[in-house]
Structure 1
């Protein structure tokens, strides 16, 4: 019986990965095969038994002033380059105290010097086709000063069996987002 349950769990994980790949690929089709100026990246972390995956475009600073200019304050930002940044969670989670059902979502933000609004949205799209009516949740977090990072990077810190911190890091700004299972 244990072998059957284990095989069933493996099948469920494989099915999840196939569905996730299909959803993100569909959202990220762009109609040409040229190298991207802002290459895509994917980061995944398992917390307990929950898989959390983020797929995003990695723009570079390129000697530009990022926050407050290229990425204006107090305006919705697609939080990356190219397509929507995709957040996929295999099980229900709690993000900054807000319940989020298992599924695929896009991440948008509204940056500010002292506070960032994080937007979890249900619409996957190319570029800046943000639709506020598709917002699943909004919450605020405090940005932190950080070491310089040329390309936008998402990563996980403080990983335990019950929680992790998703970090958005670009230029000299780091934005932590607490996630619990």
Structure 2
């Protein structure tokens, strides 16, 4: 009898794990998003992220705190993938898939491309950086509730969120 109870408990644990693994991620408060573009240079850029909402909070205070490394999204780590070697704001980045982190600042954001794409921001160490760039945030053309990435064929990439736009160029 005890064996049956133990087996039933184990089966219940596995079924609940399976159900949680199969959850529809689009129903999350910060839904997943993917932006993908083949640039004029022939390189394909893919950013896979989740979209946190502002929800009346202040970017740099209650969300994405200034001066602290952040996963540049919500839920799982954000990934940045390039099909060919590229230059980001003039600095070389080999083809591959990277974790994308940022350190928000009032006058400057640091964008980090980490060699380990599945590592959370709190576990990322500088020794695992593939590349760091510094970019100047600008005022967005319009308020954007859910964090969004845009990529154009010319290689202009922008993180747009709230009233902030954080641009960089991939060539």
TM-score, normalised relative to structure 2: 0.80
Q: Does the aligned pair in 2 maintain the 1:38–1:58 contact within 8 Å?
A: yes
Q: How many residues align?
A: 147
Structure 2 vs 1, CA of residues 44 and 91 (structure 1 numbering), >3 Å: closer, same or farther?
same
Cα distance per residue 1:109-161 (max 9 Å; x no partner)? 0000100011010112365443212111111000001120000000024x33x
Q: Does the aligned pair in 2 maintain the 1:81–1:127 contact within 8 Å?
A: no
Moved over 6 A (4+): none
Structure 2 vs 1, CA of residues 173 and 150 (structure 1 numbering), >3 Å: closer, same or farther?
same
Matched with 2:5 is none
**Matched ranges for 1:102-113 at <5 A:** 102-113=95-106
For structure 1, which runs of at least 5 residues remain unmatched after alignment? Answer: 1-29
Cα distance per residue 1:55-92 (max 9 Å; x no partner)? 10001111111223322101101100011111111000
CA RMSD of aligned residues (A): 1.6
Matched with 1:14 is none
| Distance across 2 between alignment mates of 1:111 and 1:61 | 15
For structure 2, which runs of at least 5 residues remain unmatched after alignment? Answer: 1-19
1:144 aligns with 2:144: no
1:33 aligns with 2:23: yes
TM-score, normalised relative to structure 1: 0.76
Q: Does the aligned pair in 2 maintain the 1:106–1:120 contact within 8 Å?
A: yes
Choose 1 or 2 for highest CA Rg: 2
Query: Which of 151, 168, 171 is equivalent to 1:156?
Result: 151
1:119 aligns with 2:100: no
Matched with 1:4 is none
Other structure's SS at 2:170 match:
strand
What is the CA-CA distance between 1:37 and the residue it aligns to? Answer: 1.5
